[in-house]
Structure 1
């Protein structure tokens, strides 16, 4: 089934992204390297191995982490909240206060101090939220822009091909350039909705409207009114070129 929408709210101060409509497959492909180890903040028994110092369950080794992500991709309900870490030795040096901070993050979905720990050397904190939302802290935000590029490209590819017959060859499209995705940052900071449900086709041009969603999460998934359109991101099937057409600047709305 084609993704109907992608919601993104970017906080560039704390380097976290609140999103909906992105799957684990795209997250994995966006990574330069699978995390070496992950600490599971709310894992069920039988997942990973119990680590006695922290009281959490962990998964060690890139192959095992990759396998866990694959299982979560096939069965999203298996996905737990996690934070990556480099060294088991340093993990076991966490103080009771630091361990309690991790418990707080898992419960409250926000950090008390820095979300990036010296002892863990973590690059991510991955939090699953109600209603299929995720909140992910990125040490390096460029990794998120790679994810958004893949997610939009793959969502449009599926959408274009959803009505093809069995005998037709699937159409492939070029990936949105990362630098173009970064041009969308002002919209992402306000809370943006990319609506594949309201995709427009004009000849060879496939146009994805971008709406100002802010914190109207209950409305995500429903058609948004035209007056909320901020811009349109377009893909020309003939030339293979992506472009962005601004409807109204955020400055004009203030």
Structure 2
């Protein structure tokens, strides 16, 4: 099965979400609005795109053009940040441009990833093998993205097990339910669609907490993530009522109250 798990890891201080299984389409559909301007952090620059004279980086403007560019299969591994003040590009100091280049090349922040001159809400870093690192100025904007991805995976997982009885209209997952997962996001969690099953008209998706091995999640294999991962909850969808429920099976995993 393709894309049979979703992995989420939160670095709370930086509002950074590292993920596997989320797509650029999930992101664009989930955020409040598509940006009107983006600064592409990839180098070398693409001569087919506009080039900002000050930063010497590519820019794309207009929501239609941005969606078309980011969802183009040929535009793989594109990293970018949005900006709301076009004049802010001209105000960037050399060291600030250097920080942007560092962000695009090393896929991590040197200082803050959010520029008061650019007023960006996101930094989107595309890594290999469908891995994403996304900085959110407001973490609340992550949960609709997660909702869309989980619905997509649920639909795919459920229907791949059936030849005739397909089900398409999965309801959205309430934001209040997804926010209940916040205390365990910093440990790293797996939505194990490879272990999902239907029972008594309910579709059940195990949620596992990943065991820390002091290695960055970027370098961990699927086997490494699953090894000694423990189930702490089940995301359950009632096929009759169309309601989602979170069933916590290990309450001790949720006792971290640093977010409240």
Residue matched to 2:170: 173
1:147-174 C-alpha deviation (Å, 9 max, x unpaired): 1111111210122222444x75643211
Residue matched to 1:160: 158
CA distance in 2, matches of 1:149, 1:37: 25
Contact 1:41 1:81 (8 Å CA) reproduced: yes
Larger deviation, residues 204-213 vs 125-134: 125-134
Larger deviation, residues 97-106 vs 60-69: 60-69
> How do residues 87-236 of structure 1 correspond to structure 2 at under 5 angstroms?
87-165=85-163, 170-214=167-211, 217=217, 218-220=220-222, 224=226, 228-236=230-238
> How do residues 238-253 of structure 1 correspond to structure 2 at under 5 angstroms?
238-248=240-250, 249-250=252-253
Cα shift at 1:55: 1.2
Contact 1:192 1:214 (8 Å CA) reproduced: no
Contact 1:198 1:223 (8 Å CA) reproduced: no
Q: TM-score, normalised by structure 1?
A: 0.89
Give the secondary structure class of the aligned counterpart of 1:116.
Answer: coil
Residue matched to 2:67: 66
Contact 2:70 2:78 (8 Å CA) reproduced: no
Structure 2 segments unaligned to the other structure (5+ residues): none
CA distance in 2, matches of 1:121, 1:219: 35
Are the structure 2 counterparts of residues 227 and 63 from structure 1 closer, same or farther at C-alpha, using a change threshold of 3 Å? closer
Are the structure 2 counterparts of residues 23 and 76 from structure 1 closer, same or farther at C-alpha, using a change threshold of 3 Å? farther
Cα shift at 1:198: 0.7
CA distance in 2, matches of 1:10, 1:225: 20
Cα shift at 1:251: 6.2
CA distance in 2, matches of 1:88, 1:99: 15
Give the secondary structure class of the aligned counterpart of 2:190.
Answer: strand
2:31 is aligned with 1:31: yes
Give the secondary structure class of the aligned counterpart of 1:18.
Answer: strand
RMSD of aligned C-alpha atoms? 2.3
Q: TM-score, normalised by structure 2?
A: 0.87
Are the structure 2 counterparts of residues 221 and 84 from structure 1 closer, same or farther at C-alpha, using a change threshold of 3 Å? farther
